[in-house]
Amino acid sequence: MKSETITATSSLETKPLALFVQTASQFKSVIRVSIGNKVISGKSIMGMISLGILEGQDITISAEGEDEEKAVEGLINFIRSIN
């Protein structure tokens, strides 16, 4: 399993979250996104919206599977690009 944490430099609205889910869905690995003790599937738009990601929050992205390294790296880079 690969995991990395990033701090959100802005709140994430619905459109960027939908693009995140679209990106996550391209990977074969199981993707989990967590804030505090709340953990959801990174491939679920409803789950991502329910996180309510706000500026300054630490977001942990974890992936488990054959492309876990690429998945975490790609999703961290995606968040950096929209922040």
Structural domains counted in the chain: 1
28-72 pLDDT, tens digit each: 999 999 999 999 999 999 999 999 999 999 999 999 999 999 999
pTM of the model: 0.92
pLDDT, position 55: 93
Burial category of 72 from C-beta neighbours within 10 Å (exposed 0-12, middle 13-18, buried 19 and up):
buried
Structural domain of 19: 2-82
Residue range 15-27: mean pLDDT, rounded: 96
**Strand order across the beta sheet in which 30-35 lies:** 2-7, 58-64, 30-35, 38-41
Greater model confidence, 29 or 81: 29
Confidence of residue 17 (pLDDT cuts 50, 70, 90): very high
